[in-house]
């Protein structure tokens, strides 16, 4: 493993598999226990440095670190020195001077975790940067797929929605390709990046055409503000063409699952009947997130510390 | 890497224990367990410490059944996440932690490991057990005790005491993991 | 005062001695001996007319922490320049006679290069109404180049009026070609790399569309148009077409667009963030070919100093722009001379003669001949060195060439016969 987890491409197939296997071991080691806590990272300090509000991701990382007995500091941009104009570099160096061993960073600017990694000695974990990547989300998605379907190699995954602005989609494309899954992106052409042709994926515009052969359908969140920028004419038209409703769910093979990174826009990209169905892994994904993030923290921090 | 799995050194030295010796030692520990446990035998749980403690625990259980007719429960407890030397040794893949469905509360647990050296693995296993339940008592069975303890820990059952220097390495091979049984000491 | 330059090779040709007296080249010949003259040994060095930059950001007034007229002039002289056009996007904006005269006077005071102010096309660079172009042209600064650089004159009607109006001033509008509606939030070239890096793309079409529009407008009204920092293969094609139709259009390319590609964005280091952005290898090759065949008339640095805090940040919040004055000639040697795309006369044409003509500078871009102003540089083409940004004369250190080995070293520079650089050291 590299020292940082900045993007899915930091993980080769062996590394990615190690993360998933470790997460599975941690999950089974903790299953049914009253004391859901391990002493592994006692004395280590993990800083959650969040420049964007993301309660669910922050809590997931916080829980993961605490279950490994690390000390956790939550540092959110609001009401902090950041809102007083402190630069990312100064903030990072300050946190490190206070003894942080790892920084989990969520930032609105693509590449901010890469910059951090150049400035600090400890590990940096990307918890979502701009429209770039969100690698632990892809890891928990892969974990969930493997848990439900038993494997990743050869699994056909359809990712539907705003790929252009989605860090979840980018991380999934690269991680799933690394793990041998076949990815198809389906979106209105306005929401696919120019240059998508260089990605290891199939691209389509017709959701109905790909559903009968899908093992996994991953629905992406559609931001309301995209509508005002003419990426598509209206929420209704988007929903009609790219939303996953009960009828479309019926076209899926029997074992296929439906995923969503959350938070969902029910009625927009996903119908309530789909989100609440037995195919939906949305709740599993949240739970698996903690195990996967524990595995990542353990693998990045458990080893030799940077000063050694 | 466990402390018993150093790379083989050429030329391979004469084994400290041959496959036959090893089988005899396991049999002896099984007999001792039966004798010492007495009426508690049926409630005993053998918990192996991976990697090689796990198959050793299964072998002991098989021999106990052969000698006494009693089936004892077997489990494993991975101690990786409880080690206090992660910073020095680096991370490694985790192994299974599996306990009997009936749990370990109120029972006699015998930890099983291949080599007893510093005692740190056993301490980590004790910490792990504490998080998993509350046994009535915990005992320790090891194939080889090579000395050099760093903690006040001793084994209740020892297959063979082997005086070593710190620079030496004791390597236990088991058929389930390594394809053949032997114990060797290398410099 | 006389200076005798011994053994220099004008345009890389046969070695001669050059006598400079009274600010002019007094004699050129073999084995000249002039009692009392200062002798500058120049054996093996290539002599070129002093370089002229059409596109320099000197940051003064307003951002003297990033660069001043004096520090920028020093960087220019060390790069072999004898004249630089100072862009108008200062604070206050150079949109009045008062500001352009201030910059011009600061340049005279520094005395290292001729600082030629560029006037803003529109008031405050806001793209709404024309600045007093005539007043700037008539001022002591004698402004001939007008540009809103940093911003595009996006309104087509306003652009047409600007092109027409400067005809009376013998001026030229230097357009920063960027359709702003196509580059909202843009961070880097739009393509494979922007898709993967998750940085908002700056499509080539946003540049090409404006160039296409402007060459049509310039042709229609019979005005001169200059296109700043051409960065795409498509732009080169459009310029080639326009020139074939007789449009009075000239164009410049920056050193960084001749050398670097969007691959530089991979580590998100904003030292490589620039506007227009670094493009693809195919664009780089097309730009080199366009510069070689004259479709692109000039190399201009777009020297854009930025304070450390404006670059040591996330990519998206960093300011675009990179240093260029001190390495421009080296980059041209590497990308054009060494591959055989330009000879030394070609370098003189693209970096001195053509930009001087576009800017209507009478005493620059002249031949190395008797009677001409003694604006010249002497280059050691065999020298190779690794760029150390801390060692640059610029007040800023945002050089994209840091750590790169580049060929060629400007050894001496003369402005009107006075040495501004001797043996690689600025004289003021």
Q: Are residue A193 and residue A277 in the same domain, yes or no?
A: yes
User: pLDDT band at residue A302, thresholds of 50, 70 and 90?
Assistant: confident
| Interface with B, mutate which of A19, A25, A102 (most B CBs under 10 A) | A25
Q: Which residues of A are catalytic?
A: 56-57, 84, 106, 134
- What is d(CA A131, CA A168) in angstroms, rounded to the nearest whole number? 9
Residue of C nearest to A7 (CA): C197
A143 domain-assigned: yes
Q: Are residue A19 and residue A121 in the same domain, yes or no?
A: yes
B1 domain-assigned: no
What CATH code is carried by the domain that includes residue B50?
3.40.50.2020
The residue ranking higher by pLDDT, B81 or C177, is C177
Q: CB distance C197–A132 less than 8 Å?
A: yes
A270 domain-assigned: yes
Residue of A nearest to B76 (CA): A29
B77 domain-assigned: yes
User: pLDDT band at residue A201, thresholds of 50, 70 and 90?
Assistant: very high
Q: Do chains B and C touch (3 or more CB pairs under 8 A)?
A: no
Preceding omega of A263 cis (within 30 degrees of 0): yes
User: Which of A21, A39, A40 is facing B93, going by the closest CB pair?
Assistant: A21
Q: Are residue A167 and residue A254 in the same domain, yes or no?
A: yes
**Mean pLDDT, range C247-259, rounded to an integer:** 98
Q: CB distance B95–A25 less than 8 Å?
A: yes
Catalytic choice (C17, C148, C214, C302) = C302
B1 touching A, CB under 8 A?
no
Average per-residue pLDDT in chain A? Answer: 92
- What is d(CA C207, CA C235) in angstroms, rounded to the nearest whole number? 7
Two structure tokens written together for A215: 């093992």
Q: Are residue A294 and residue A251 in the same domain, yes or no?
A: no
Q: Is the pLDDT of residue A47 over 60?
A: yes
Residue of B nearest to A40 (CA): B81
Q: Are residue A40 and residue A153 in the same domain, yes or no?
A: no
Report CA Rg, chain A.
19
Q: What is the ipTM of this complex?
A: 0.93
Lowest mean pLDDT among A5-9, B131-135, B172-176, C49-53: B131-135
| Interface with A, mutate which of B76, B78, B79, B86 (most A CBs under 10 A) | B86
User: pLDDT band at residue A84, thresholds of 50, 70 and 90?
Assistant: low
Chain A residues close to B90, C-beta within 8 Å: 302-304
Residue of A nearest to B131 (CA): A35
User: Which of B78, B86, B96 is facing A302, going by the closest CB pair?
Assistant: B86
The pLDDT assigned to A81 comes to 66
A114 touching C, CB under 8 A?
yes
| Interface with A, mutate which of B80, B82, B94 (most A CBs under 10 A) | B94
B8 domain-assigned: no
A308 domain-assigned: no
* pLDDT tens string C342-366: 999 999 999 999 999 999 999 999 9
Q: How many domains does chain B have?
A: 1
Q: Are residue A44 and residue A162 in the same domain, yes or no?
A: no
For B127, how many CA atoms within 13 A lie in the half-sphere containing its CB?
17
Q: Which domain holds residue A108?
A: 8-132+286-301
Q: Which domain holds residue B115?
A: 19-186
- What is d(CA B80, CA B57) in angstroms, rounded to the nearest whole number? 18
The pLDDT assigned to B11 comes to 53
**Mean pLDDT, range B19-40, rounded to an integer:** 94
The pLDDT assigned to B179 comes to 93
Q: CB distance A195–C193 less than 8 Å?
A: yes
Q: Are residue A126 and residue A142 in the same domain, yes or no?
A: no
A3 domain-assigned: no
Q: Are residue A217 and residue A268 in the same domain, yes or no?
A: yes
- What is d(CA C357, CA A44) in angstroms, rounded to the nearest whole number? 66
B67 domain-assigned: yes
User: pLDDT band at residue B2, thresholds of 50, 70 and 90?
Assistant: very low
Structural domains of chain C, ranges and CATH numbers in brackets:
2-46+372-426 (2.30.40.10), 50-358 (3.20.20.140)
What CATH code is carried by the domain that includes residue A223?
3.40.50.1370
Question: Contact at 8 Å (CB) between A285 and A262?
Answer: yes
DSSP assignments along A199-257, one per residue: SSSEEES-HHHHGGG-SEEEEPPPPTHHHHTTSSS-HHHHHHHH-B-HHHHHTS-TT-E
User: Which of A25, A26, A305 is facing B87, going by the closest CB pair?
Assistant: A305
> Which residues does C177 contact at the CB level (< 8 Å), separation at least 6?
C152, C207, C208, C210, C211, C214, C227, C228, C230, C235, C276
Average per-residue pLDDT in chain C? Answer: 97
Chain A residues close to B86, C-beta within 8 Å: 40, 302-303
Subunits next to A (3 or more Cβ pairs <8 Å) are B, C
Question: Contact at 8 Å (CB) between A134 and A166?
Answer: no
Chain C residues close to A170, C-beta within 8 Å: 196, 198
* pLDDT tens string C123-166: 999 999 999 999 999 999 999 999 999 999 999 999 999 999 99
The pLDDT assigned to B89 comes to 73
Cα of A113 to nearest chain C Cα, Å? 9
Q: Are residue A40 and residue A112 in the same domain, yes or no?
A: yes
Chain A residues close to B94, C-beta within 8 Å: 21-22, 25-26, 29
A208 domain-assigned: yes
B11 domain-assigned: no
The pLDDT assigned to A79 comes to 62
Subunits next to C (3 or more Cβ pairs <8 Å) are A
Closest by CA to C88, choosing from C126, C114, C50, is: C126
Chain A residues close to B80, C-beta within 8 Å: 40
- What is d(CA A192, CA A134) in angstroms, rounded to the nearest whole number? 18
pTM: 0.91
What share of chain C has pLDDT > 70, as a percent?
100
Chain A residues close to B93, C-beta within 8 Å: 18, 21-22, 25
* pLDDT tens string C101-127: 999 999 999 999 999 999 999 999 999
**Mean pLDDT, range B96-110, rounded to an integer:** 92
Chain A residues close to B127, C-beta within 8 Å: 39
The pLDDT assigned to A306 comes to 38
Q: Is the pLDDT of residue C237 over 50?
A: yes
* pLDDT tens string B43-82: 999 999 999 999 999 999 999 999 999 999 999 999 999 9
DSSP assignments along C241-296, one per residue: HHHHTT--EEEEE-HHHHH--GGGGGG--GGG--SSPP--HHHHHHHHHHHHHTSS
The pLDDT assigned to C347 comes to 98
**Mean pLDDT, range C306-310, rounded to an integer:** 95
Q: What letter does residue C159 receive in the DSSP assignment?
A: H
Q: How many domains does chain A have?
A: 2
User: Which of A18, A22, A28 is facing B97, going by the closest CB pair?
Assistant: A28
Cα of A33 to nearest chain B Cα, Å? 6
**Contact residues of A toward B, CB < 8 A:** 1, 18, 21-22, 25-26, 28-29, 33, 35, 37-40, 68, 298-299, 302-305, 308
Cα of B132 to nearest chain A Cα, Å? 6
Chain B residues close to A17, C-beta within 8 Å: none
């Amino acid at each position: 493993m590299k020292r940082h987890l900045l993007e899915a491409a930091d993980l080769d197939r062996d590394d990615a598999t190690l993360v998933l296997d470790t997460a599975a071991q941690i999950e089974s080691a903790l299953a049914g226990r009253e004391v859901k806590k391990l002493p592994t990272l006692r004395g280590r300090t993990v800083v959650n440095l969040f420049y964007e509000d993301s309660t669910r991701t922050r809590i997931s990382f916080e829980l993961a670190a605490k279950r490994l007995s690390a000390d956790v500091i939550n540092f959110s941009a609001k009401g902090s020195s950041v809102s007083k104009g402190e630069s990312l570099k100064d903030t990072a160096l300050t946190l490190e001077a206070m003894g942080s061993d790892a920084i989990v960073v969520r930032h609105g600017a693509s590449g901010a975790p890469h910059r951090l990694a150049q400035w600090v000695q400890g590990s940096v974990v990307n918890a979502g940067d701009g429209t770039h990547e969100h690698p632990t989300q892809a890891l928990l998605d892969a974990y969930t797929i493997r848990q439900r379907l038993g494997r990743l190699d050869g699994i056909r995954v359809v990712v539907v929605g705003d790929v252009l602005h989605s860090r979840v989609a980018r991380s999934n494309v690269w991680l799933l390709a690394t793990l041998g899954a076949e990815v198809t992106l389906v979106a209105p052409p306005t929401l696919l990046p120019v240059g998508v042709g260089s990605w290891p994926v199939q691209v389509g515009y017709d959701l109905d055409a790909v559903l009968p052969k899908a093992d996994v359908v991953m629905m992406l969140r559609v931001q309301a503000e995209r509508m005002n920028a003419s990426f598509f004419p209206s929420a209704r038209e988007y929903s009609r063409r790219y939303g996953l409703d009960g009828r479309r769910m019926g076209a899926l093979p029997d074992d296929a699952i439906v995923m969503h990174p959350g938070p969902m826009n029910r009625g927009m990209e996903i119908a309530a009947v789909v989100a609440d169905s037995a195919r939906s892994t949305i709740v599993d994904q949240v739970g698996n997130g903690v195990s996967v993030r524990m595995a990542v923290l353990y693998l990045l921090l458990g080893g030799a510390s940077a000063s050694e | 890497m466990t402390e018993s799995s150093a790379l083989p050194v050429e030329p391979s030295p004469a084994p400290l224990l041959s496959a036959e010796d090893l089988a005899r030692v396991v049999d002896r520990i099984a007999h001792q367990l039966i004798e010492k446990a007495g009426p508690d035998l049926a409630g005993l749980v053998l918990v192996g410490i991976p990697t090689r403690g796990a198959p050793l625990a299964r072998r002991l259980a098989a021999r106990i059944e052969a000698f006494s007719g009693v089936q004892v429960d077997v489990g494993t407890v991975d101690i990786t996440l409880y080690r206090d030397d992660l910073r020095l040794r680096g991370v490694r893949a985790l192994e299974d932690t599996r306990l009997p469905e009936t749990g370990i509360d109120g029972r006699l647990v015998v930890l099983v490991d291949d080599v007893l050296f510093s005692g740190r693995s056993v301490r980590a296993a004790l910490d792990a057990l504490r998080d998993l339940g509350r046994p009535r008592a915990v005992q320790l069975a090891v194939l080889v005790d090579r000395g050099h303890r760093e903690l006040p820990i001793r084994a209740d059952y020892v297959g063979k005491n082997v005086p070593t220097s710190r620079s030496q390495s004791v390597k236990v091979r088991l058929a389930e993991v390594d394809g053949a049984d032997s114990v060797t000491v290398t410099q | 005062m006389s200076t005798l330059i011994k053994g220099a090779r004008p345009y890389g040709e046969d070695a001669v001695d050059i006598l400079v007296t009274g600010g002019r080249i007094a004699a050129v010949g073999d084995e000249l001996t002039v009692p009392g003259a200062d002798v500058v040994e120049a054996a093996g060095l290539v002599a070129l007319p002093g370089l002229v930059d059409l596109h320099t950001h000197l940051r003064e007034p307003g951002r003297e922490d990033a660069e001043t007229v004096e520090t920028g002039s020093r960087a220019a002289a060390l790069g072999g320049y004898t004249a630089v056009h100072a862009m108008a996007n200062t604070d206050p904006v150079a949109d009045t006679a008062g500001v352009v005269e201030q910059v011009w006077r600061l340049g005279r005071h520094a005395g290292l290069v001729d600082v030629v102010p560029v006037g803003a096309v529109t008031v405050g660079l806001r793209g709404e109404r024309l600045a007093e172009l005539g007043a700037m042209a008539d001022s002591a600064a004698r402004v001939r180049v007008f540009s809103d650089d940093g911003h595009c004159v996006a309104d087509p009607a306003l652009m047409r009026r600007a092109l027409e109006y400067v005809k009376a001033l013998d001026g030229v509008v230097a357009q920063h070609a960027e359709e702003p509606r196509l580059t909202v939030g843009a961070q880097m070239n739009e393509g494979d790399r922007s898709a993967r890096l998750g940085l908002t793309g700056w499509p080539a079409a946003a540049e090409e569309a404006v160039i296409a529009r402007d060459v049509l407008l310039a042709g229609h009204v019979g005005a001169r148009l200059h296109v700043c920092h051409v960065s795409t293969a498509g732009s080169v094609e459009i310029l080639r077409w326009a020139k074939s139709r007789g449009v009075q259009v000239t164009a410049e390319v920056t050193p960084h667009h001749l050398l670097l590609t969007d691959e530089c964005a991979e580590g998100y280091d904003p030292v490589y963030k620039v506007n227009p952005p670094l493009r693809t290898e195919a664009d780089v090759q097309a730009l080199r070919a366009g510069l070689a065949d004259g479709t692109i008339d000039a190399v201009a640095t777009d020297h854009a100093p930025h304070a450390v805090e404006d670059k040591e940040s996330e990519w998206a919040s960093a300011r675009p722009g990179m240093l260029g004055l001190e390495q421009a000639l080296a980059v041209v040697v590497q990308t054009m001379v060494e591959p055989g795309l330009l000879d030394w006369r070609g370098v003189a044409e693209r970096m001195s003669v053509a930009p001087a003509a576009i800017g209507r500078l009478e005493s620059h871009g002249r031949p190395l001949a008797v009677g001409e102003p003694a604006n010249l540089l002497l280059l050691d083409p065999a020298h190779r060195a690794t760029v150390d940004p801390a060692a640059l004369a610029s007040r800023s250190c945002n050089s994209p060439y840091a750590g790169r080995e580049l060929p060629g070293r400007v050894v001496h520079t003369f402005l009107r016969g006075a040495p501004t650089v001797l043996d690689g050291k600025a004289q003021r």
